[in-house]
A and B are shown apart, each in its own frame.
Chain A
Amino acid sequence: MELLLAIIVGLLYASGIYMMLRRSLVKLIIGLILLGNGANILIFLLGRIVKGKPPIIEDSAKVLTDIYADPVPQALILTAIVISFGLQAFAIILVKRAYKVVGTDDLDQMNATDEDL
């Protein structure tokens, strides 16, 4: 299963980068999101995946003794997911505004906007 996940991570990275290399702003954002997802799964995968053993202590026990999924990458990813929402919202609105102000979403034509404004 790890093999499949590794391939999916590679696929997410590849698609994210491909989208970021396009000239359209909207594609750039989609690429950014895909890349973020890829990074999340990469961290998750490298923390080793375990089936059916969430890092939660049993009612009766005081410490985790059995095999359990690593909580540290999970905490990291949880933070990353929430932050990425803020980032995406901001990026989308920025694109929307930029499009409205500059009148183009071709990244190449946004080079010289400083003078035009």
Chain B
Amino acid sequence: MKTIIFKTASTYLLPILLLFSVFILLRGHYLPGGGFVGGLIASIAYVLHSFANGLDRTKDVIKFHPGFLMPVGLSLSLLSGMAPLLHELPFMTGLWAHDPVPVLGNIGSALFFDIGVYLVVVGVVLTIIFTISESI
């Protein structure tokens, strides 16, 4: 699979796919998409990159072990769920900013929750795939 065309293409595909995954993530609240799908697309992007360039190169691109994304994402989701507790509302009550932000639309705790899901999914998939590729 390590042809020149694929290699070159993957170098450009990675950022584009990542951007696409973030786009999918952010639009999830209004149109099809969301943290799960976004995270899966992002991880496919990395997997593709690793197929073309080898695992080590991909790891260099990521710079840290993908496993770290799991606790980060989990805590982000948890914190977004706990934020309402500060306002003495029950756990996981949605909090929303009053004015919509351009591009992103309404910003609320649910968005951060979804970002947490995104990070966990990327972390989980990459950990699994990378571990398996390494051990073969």
Chain A interface residues (CB < 8 Å from chain B): 54, 56, 78, 82, 85-86, 89, 93
- How many residue pairs at the A-B interface have CB separations less than 8 Å? 14
Interface size on B, residues (CB 8 A): 10
Determine chain A's interface SS by DSSP, over half rule.
helix
Beyond A82-B121, A85-B125, list 12 extra A-B contacts (CB 8 Å): A54-B32, A56-B30, A56-B31, A56-B32, A78-B36, A82-B36, A82-B40, A86-B124, A86-B128, A89-B128, A89-B132, A93-B132
Determine chain B's interface SS by DSSP, over half rule.
helix
Cα(A54)–Cα(B40), bound, Å: 21
Inside 8 A of A56's CB, which chain B residues have their CB?
30-32
Inside 8 A of B31's CB, which chain A residues have their CB?
56
Inside 8 A of A54's CB, which chain B residues have their CB?
32
Inside 8 A of B121's CB, which chain A residues have their CB?
82
Residues in B23-66 with C-beta less than 8 Å from chain A = 30-32, 36, 40
Inside 8 A of A85's CB, which chain B residues have their CB?
125
